[in-house]
Amino acid sequence: MRQTNPAAPLAAALLLVWCASALAQKSTADGIAEYREMLQDGNPAELFEMKGEELWKQKRGPRNASLERCDLGKGPGVVKGAFVELPRYFADTNKVQDLESRLLTCMQAQQGLDAAKIAATPFGKDEQKNMEGLVAWVSSQSKGMKLALPQGHAKEKQMYEVGKRMFYLRGGPHDFACASCHGADDKRIRLQDLPNLTKAKGAAEGFGSWPAYRVSSGELWSMQRRLNDCFRQQRFPYPGYASDVTVALGVFMGVNGQGGMSTAPAIKR
Amino acid sequence: MSNKKPLSTLYTVAAVTASLVVLGCASIDTAQSLDAMTQQMVKDSFRDQGIAKVDRLQQDESNAACSAADVSGVALTDAKAQGIEAANLKTVQWPADGKFVGDWKEGEKIAQNGRGMTWTDKPGSANGGNCYNCHQISREEISFGTLGPSLYNYGKLRGISDPNSAEARAIFEYTWGKIWNAKAYNACSGMPRFGHAGILGEAQVRDLVGLLVDPQSPVNR
């Protein structure tokens, strides 16, 4: 029989009350900042990074190939610094692609995996589980670097403009746009601070911190998954994985945050 | 310095050529063509999921005009804004029995509830009002958002002492109308049109008005 200590729940409750009153002395934002700092000491995203690095080098798929020749924009196999320049234009696909869209291209072209099937797989399952590791590792190889999305190609400029239009598109039963929550400084939903994605500081903080490990769900969320859940809460229909509007939004946010620091993979509540 | 003039001429030619190139590119991507490109990408990117269908992306005139104003950074003209407000005011369904003020306790529950109408929600379930996501309402609830103005003391600040007075009735009507269709009073309001969009029903709107105006509601005590 398992012994229970009747004093334990009481002690826990007392501790909770003490913590709550101690926290109440500070502003909510201070408390949350402190909590995040404590979390930084051991970011479980590192486990995903390790898995991602292994996956990058591992021979997989029908072609039994690794991703080590994948061109993320800085040449085949160059990972360091690639993430902060995405999304960008790729000549071989004639498309502007974000990290996940580009990984799909490489997984199909080099490993022979079915990109469309992976795109249709629910988050957190099968190959999408592997995607979590890959985005964690690739983004970690640009951690601390400045966002530097190229805007030289006409299609990169177009995607910025499309992203801007998507950002302000009011729709759904609630008339929400991305801008409803992320278009002004110092706003919150309940107690959750909302970055202003139209300005350099907020865009760098918001865009530059995904992928991230989410403590509340114990999952590693990519930018695609972050956007997907934004659209869910916006009461919009379902955005296709790595679809053009999601890439366009990435360009809009990333260019707005140009020069800000990439902190991905970060840790979130 | 005999070569000075030809060089500057060369620069001028180069500069003119460069600006022509710029102009050429600009004429390819006009605002209209970018709008059309966006529409096509939106069409290709979204799909139905659960109760959230792609027809939700069909903008009505109000949303289309306000989105365009947001993108261009040029606010609507007064005439256009007034037109949108008048059209939205016409959609407000006033209470059939003339009773504007419901049960604030029920209103508080609706204000707390942020659920409903996402692709993970079931069809037919009652929706919440999401009010605390954006507004301070009662003083007891400290977890409130700041996207909308504080509504704490909403009735008190408007001096509702006698709920049966004509002044009080005007405030009830405005409050009802604002919840039913916020764009009747502010063309590009960021607030959902709860009644108009079928998010909340008449009884729920009545209870929310109660939460805001009833002198017994924690909002006003």
Average pLDDT for A80-100: 98
- Predicted local distance difference test score (pLDDT) of residue A72: 98
Based on the structure, what is the number of domains in chain A?
Answer: 1
Residue B81 belongs to some domain of the structure: no
Residues of A in contact with B183 (CB under 8 A): 175
pLDDT of residue B97: 92
Instruction: Please answer whether residues B102 and B183 qualify as being in contact, where contact means their C-beta atoms are separated by less than 8 angstroms.
Output: no
Q: Which positions in chain B touch A232 (Cβ < 8 Å)?
A: 52, 118-120
pLDDT per position as a tens digit, A30-65: 776 776 676 667 789 999 999 999 999 999 999 999
Return the number of CB contacts < 8 Å for A and B.
Answer: 140
Does residue B127 sit in the same domain as residue B197?
Answer: yes
B71 and B108, same domain (yes or no): no
Pairing of strands A192-194, A212-214: unpaired
Q: Is the pLDDT confidence value at B8 over 80?
A: no
**Number of domains chain B contains:** 2
Candidates A162, A189, A237; nearest CB to B145: A189
Residue in A171, A187, A232 nearest the CB of B147: A187
Burial (CB < 10 A; 0-12, 13-18, 19+), residue A243, is buried
pLDDT for residue A213 is more than 70: yes
Provide the CATH number for the domain around residue B121: 1.10.760.10
- Does the CB of A237 have a partner CB in chain B at under 8 Å? yes
> B46 vs A189: CB contact, 8 Å cut-off?
no
Q: State both tokens at A220.
A: 């590693």
Judge whether A181 counts as a catalytic residue: no
For B112-163, how does the pLDDT look when each residue is reduced to its tens digit (9 = 90+)? 999 999 999 998 889 999 999 999 999 999 999 999 999 999 999 999 877 7
8 Å CB contact between A174 and B199: yes
pLDDT of residue A255 exceeding 70: yes
Here the tokens at position A186 are: 């110092």
Q: Mean pLDDT over residues A159-182, rounded?
A: 98
Residue bearing tokens 């918001």: A206
Q: Is residue B49 part of a domain?
A: yes
Mean of per-residue pLDDT scores for chain B: 90
* pLDDT given at position A36: 66
**Test the B interface: residue of A178, A196, A235 with most B CBs within 10 Å:** A235
Residue B71 Ramachandran class (φ > 0 left, ψ -120 to 50 alpha, else beta): alpha
Q: Which of A245, A253, A258 is nearest to A195 (CA)?
A: A253
Q: Which residues of A touch B37 (CB under 8 A)?
A: 158, 161-162
Who contacts A21 (Cβ-Cβ below 8 Å, separation ≥6)?
none
- pLDDT for the residue numbered B160: 83
Indicate whether B221 belongs to any domain: no
pLDDT band at B180 (very low <50, low <70, confident <90, very high): very high
Q: How confident is the model at residue A269 (pLDDT cuts 50, 70, 90)?
A: confident
Chain B contact for A123 (CB, 8 A cutoff): no
Residue B83 C-alpha, separation from nearest chain A C-alpha, in angstroms: 18
CATH number, domain at A75?
A: 1.10.760.10
Identify residue B69 by its one-letter amino acid code. A
Same-domain pairing of B65 and B142: no
Report in angstroms the alpha-carbon separations of B32 from B6, B27, B36, B37.
41, 10, 6, 9
Residue-by-residue DSSP string for B63-97: HHHHHHHHHHT-PPPHHHHHHHHHHHHTT----TT
Residue B62 has pLDDT above 80, yes or no: yes
Tell whether the torsion through CA atoms of B81, B86, B90 and B92 is positive or negative.
positive
In a domain, A81, yes or no: yes
Q: Which domain holds residue A252?
A: 45-268
Interface with A, mutate which of B28, B112, B118 (most A CBs under 10 A): B118
A92-104: b (≥16 Cβ within 10 Å) or e: eeebbbbbbbbbb
Tell me, yes or no, whether A85 lies in a domain: yes
Q: Are residues B138 and B63 in the same domain?
A: no
Residue B189 and residue B128 in one domain: yes
Domain containing residue B134: 104-213
- Residues of A in Cβ contact (< 8 Å) with B200: none
Do B208 and B129 reside in the same domain of the chain? Answer: yes
Residue B99 resides in a domain: no
Judged on CB neighbours under 10 Å (0-12, 13-18, 19+), B217 is buried
A219: in domain: yes
Chain B partners within 8 Å of A158 (Cβ):
29, 34, 37
Q: What is the pLDDT of residues A101-154, one digit of tens each?
A: 999 999 999 999 999 999 999 999 999 999 999 999 999 999 999 999 999 999
Q: Confirm if A128 and A117 have CB atoms less than 8 A apart.
A: no
Whether A200 is in a domain gets the answer yes
Q: Tell me the one-letter amino acid at A250.
A: G
CB contact at 8 A, A176 and A170: yes
Q: Which residue of B has its CA nearest to A180?
A: B190
**Is position B94 within any domain?**
no
Q: Catalytic one among A19, A106, A178, A230?
A: A230
